[in-house]
Amino acid sequence: MTDPITLAAHAKINISLRILGKRPDGFHALETLMVPIALADEIEISHGSGKAITLTCNDPELSTGPENLCTKAAEAFRAETGLDHGIAITLLKKIPHGAGLGGGSSDAASVLKGLNQLFDHPLVAEEMAQIAATLGSDVPFFLENRPAWCRGRGEIIEPAPTLPERNLFLIKPAFPVPTAWAYKKYAEMKESGELPTHADRQFLRDLEIINDLETPVFNKYLLLPVIKKWLQEQAEVECAFMTGSGSTMVAFIKPRLPEDEIPSLKKKVLAEFGETMWVTETCFSGC
């Protein structure tokens, strides 16, 4: 019996997210720079008894049924390979859900990679990518743990140049933002001419930091633009923005900042916005 496979399922941030229009299939055409970060869920995959797929998770708010992306990934893997072995998946969640950090998509990609390893690599990279694309727009990105420009629905992936190292602060309020709602609201605002031009321009060296979903999301979730403005005013912060469809706000910490100043920023966030905020310090994956 093969030993269990353990993988880290890394979160991501979107440094740039542009919506280029609506595709004939109903999805939005995107151009986004996605970067994996050190924050990660942990997934263990092993042979299960019988032919069932079982999923256990430390987060009681997440379903462990057939609608979970981990289970869907395992089902898709078995359908593609013709295997009918039992599969047991254990998921230790550290990435909050409804956060714009891609936790569910990363978990699904890790399940695909773990199963391919567990069953002695029956699928090549191209087949894995095809399965990943059926599971969700972000899932193909997570098959490779490196920064990438993602286009189309997200399935067209081009490796990005090396980024300057940065420490990051992630700040998420207690509420999630539904991804489908955010894109729908963007389309409605664009159709009605309510989308403003981007006046607030920020850069990471020569990369412009921009997120087309900020306007529709900020229009409803009024706390998020307040957090962004507050972060931009802090001496420790180089720039601040929303990742994905939210609700996580990202702050790039200024390079060469003394380490003892970073914990004080977390204290200031909690003092300003309350103890219900989820706040963590991280960095780009591999740092």
Residues 20 and 146 reside in one and the same domain = yes
CATH number at residue 47: 3.30.230.10
Length of the chain: 287
Question: Which residues span the domain enclosing 43?
Answer: 5-159
Q: What is the pLDDT of residue 58?
A: 97
Query: Is position 12 annotated as part of the catalytic site?
Result: yes
Query: Is position 84 annotated as part of the catalytic site?
Result: no
- Per-residue pLDDT band at 198 (split at 50, 70, 90): low
- Per-residue pLDDT band at 82 (split at 50, 70, 90): very high
In the DSSP assignment, the letter for residue 284 is B
Where a domain ends, among 159, 193, 218? 159
Residues 64 and 174 reside in one and the same domain = no
Report CA 216 to chain centroid distance, whole Å: 19
Q: What is the pLDDT of residue 1?
A: 56
Residues 195 and 266 reside in one and the same domain = yes
Higher pLDDT, 209 or 154: 209
Q: What is the pLDDT of residue 67?
A: 95
Residues above pLDDT 90, as percent of the chain = 80
Q: How far apart are CA 167 and CA 224, in angstroms?
A: 21
- Mean pLDDT for all residues in the chain: 93
Q: Are 86 and 47 in contact (CB under 8 A)?
A: yes
Q: Which pair of tokens denotes residue 176?
A: 């999630």
Residues 54 and 148 reside in one and the same domain = yes
Q: How far apart are CA 84 and CA 75, in angstroms?
A: 9
Q: Which residue out of 12, 72, 93, 113 is catalytically annotated?
A: 12
Q: How far apart are CA 222 and CA 94, in angstroms?
A: 26
Over residues 116-145, the pLDDT tens digits come to 999 999 999 999 999 999 999 899 999 998
Q: Which residue out of 72, 138, 212, 228 is catalytically annotated?
A: 138
For residue 112, give Cα distances in angstroms to 108, 115, 116, 198, 272: 6, 5, 6, 38, 41
Total structural domains within the chain: 2
Where a domain ends, among 131, 159, 187? 159
Q: Name the nearest CA neighbour of 163 among 286, 30, 8.
A: 286
Residues 151 and 196 reside in one and the same domain = no
For residue 136, give Cα distances in angstroms to 30, 54, 72, 73, 118: 14, 21, 11, 10, 23
